[in-house]
Amino acid sequence: MLNRSRCKDVSLSVPLNINTNQKIDTTNHYHIFVGDLSPEVENKELYDAFANFGLVTECKIIKDMHTQKPKGYGFVAYATKEEAELAIQRMNGQIVGSRPIRTGWAVRKPSSSQPKGMCFKGNLILFQIKDL
């Protein structure tokens, strides 16, 4: 792999095409949460800010599903834990766009075990959507 290799004392960088529709499996990669993103920050700017710490395998700014406006946070993934740790340490508090950002380990939400369309309180079903 050429990325981050050296040739005549020059570090080579091979950027990923972040706009590709081709998906790679990043399940076992190390994901970083990036918070307090200013609304003007795009995926490419986020990618560029984190590319100095290793090979970015995934980069995504989360947008509202209806308005398509950014929600102010995103995720960046690296193949190695060392690269992700370095990025978390070095980027926390740095300015990306017009604001200082927060970085930390991304935590997956547990999948909901309750069926859709029902409202629970304790073990009681209070109502079903069709009842409303």
DSSP letter at 38 equals: -
Cβ atoms of 49 and 94 within 8 Å: the answer is yes
**Contact call for residues 29 and 58 (beta carbons, < 8 A):** yes
Topology, domain 24-107:
Alpha-Beta Plaits (3.30.70)
The total number of residues shown for the chain amounts to 132
pLDDT, tens digit, for every residue of 91-113? 999 999 999 999 999 998 776 65
pTM over 0.75: no
Measured between alpha carbons, how far is 84 from 49 in angstroms, rounded to an integer?
13
Q: Which residues pair with 7 in a beta bridge?
A: 10
Domain ranges of the chain: 24-107
pLDDT tens-digit readout, 28-82: 899 999 999 999 999 999 999 999 999 999 999 999 999 999 999 999 999 999 9
Cβ atoms 91, 36 nearer than 8 A: no
